[in-house]
């Protein structure tokens, strides 16, 4: 599977439910809840909206107890003007990796094969991204990681917000590395 595409495996930070320790794991992009009755035909969302993640049955249990951090160096948005497509690359302004808020699940297939999967939580686009797209990944601040992962007391719901516009930058791909 192609990297960065639904179904691809990525390194995701999660809190191990047995040890309570933070760990990197290889998880499949596309959430497969542990209670899924028909896993081969189930919808496997890659995103969850911050506005509904606490209430929707697909995400609510994972939000309460299986939150994750998805490391990312960049992502792309695309717009079309006068019939011409333009891609933009989004990165942190300081050059550091982003930490996207995510949810994870652990599904046990017949034969006891365990598949861990994840999705990324999205929020309304901030002022930097809004000219190009209406949604963006929820980017966590490093100081929020312990609350998000459940390592420290606090309400993770207060972290369901867009990042300040000056934390990220959005540049045309052609200016940065040649048009792809």
pLDDT in tens, 87-141: 999 999 999 999 999 999 999 998 999 999 999 999 999 999 999 999 999 999 9
> Is 0.75 surpassed by the pTM of this model?
yes
Helix (H, G, I), strand (E, B) or coil at 20: coil
The answer to whether 119 touches 47, Cβ cutoff 8 Å, is yes
CATH topology of domain 9-75+97-163: hypothetical protein yedk fold (3.90.1680)
What tokens were used for 139?
């980017």
Give me the chain's average pLDDT, please: 93
- Do the Cβ atoms of 159 and 86 come closer than 8 Å? no
- pLDDT tens for 1-55 read 456 788 999 999 999 999 999 999 999 999 999 999 999 999 999 999 999 999 9
Q: Do residues 163 and 139 lie in contact, with contact meaning Cβ atoms separated by under 8 Å? A: yes
Domain spans of the chain? 9-75+97-163
* Residue 148 CA to its chain's centroid (Å): 13
For residue 61, is pLDDT > 50? yes
Q: Which helix (H) or strand (E) holds 147?
A: helix 145-149
């Amino acid at each position: 599977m192609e990297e960065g595409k639904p179904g691809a495996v990525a390194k995701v930070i999660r809190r191990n439910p047995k040890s309570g320790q933070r760990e990197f794991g290889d998880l499949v992009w596309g959430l497969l809840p542990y209670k899924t009755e028909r896993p081969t035909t189930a919808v496997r969302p890659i995103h969850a909206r911050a506005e509904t993640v606490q209430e929707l049955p697909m995400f609510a249990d994972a939000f309460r107890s299986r939150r994750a951090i998805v490391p990312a160096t960049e992502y792309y948005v695309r717009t079309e003007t006068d019939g011409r497509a333009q891609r933009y690359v989004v990165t942190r302004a300081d050059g550091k990796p982003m930490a996207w808020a995510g949810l994870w699940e652990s599904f046990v297939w017949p034969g006891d094969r365990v598949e861990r999967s994840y999705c990324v939580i999205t929020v309304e686009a901030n002022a930097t991204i809004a000219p190009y797209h209406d949604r963006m990944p929820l980017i966590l601040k490093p100081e929020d990681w312990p609350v998000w992962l459940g390592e420290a007391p606090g309400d993770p719901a207060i972290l369901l917000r867009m990042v300040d516009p000056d934390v990220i930058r959005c540049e045309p791909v052609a200016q940065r590395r040649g048009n792809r």
